Amino acid sequence: MNYLGLNSEKVGVTVAELNTLLANYHIYYQNLRNFHWNVEGENFFDLHEKFEELYDDALIKIDEIAERVLTLRHRPISRFSDYIAEAEIDESPVFKEDSKMVAAILSNHRAIIKSMRRVIDVAGKAEDEGTIDLIGSALENIEKKSWMLDAWLAKKEEASLVQ
């Protein structure tokens, strides 16, 4: 049933990109859990809380993306082996340095932002305003988080140069 009135072939392309984004978010989510559990040192309290905030938000985005795929009458990928195979983000190692954790998050954000922009592009070609709206809002959100983390990292790097 095509209750949304969208071209099914074009929607298929959008769904493929949404599934890639979903895979990226799952690996990103697990990387955040890794950092939350393993952060230490002088920035422990701030980063432990920030990483939890980020993974809570990622979990919401995961559900929203999967439900959008279902709304488009397709099935979201749902096995971890599929996420690993499909994702453009790699699992992060356990870092000791908090600055490496933040840099890894920013690298994950770059991949997610790139993936979001592809979703918006193909959804535009499919005239799928619902997907554009969902991903556009998430894009603005992750760009702002990236700016804040980048500012934190720049300040940390500046402080290490002074010492």
Per-residue pLDDT of the chain (163 residues; tens, 9 = 90+): 578 899 899 999 999 999 999 999 999 999 999 999 999 999 999 999 999 999 999 999 999 999 999 999 999 999 999 999 999 999 999 999 999 999 999 999 999 999 999 999 999 999 999 999 999 999 999 999 999 999 999 987 777 676 5
Domains along the chain with CATH numbers: 29-162 (1.20.1260.10)
State residue 79's pLDDT score. 97
The DSSP call for residue 101 is H
Return the closest-CA partner of residue 128 out of 26, 35, 12.
12
Question: How many CB atoms are closer than 10 A to CB 140?
Answer: 11
Angstrom CA distances, 9 to 6, 24, 68, 130, stand at: 9, 23, 16, 17
Question: How many CB atoms are closer than 10 A to CB 43?
Answer: 16
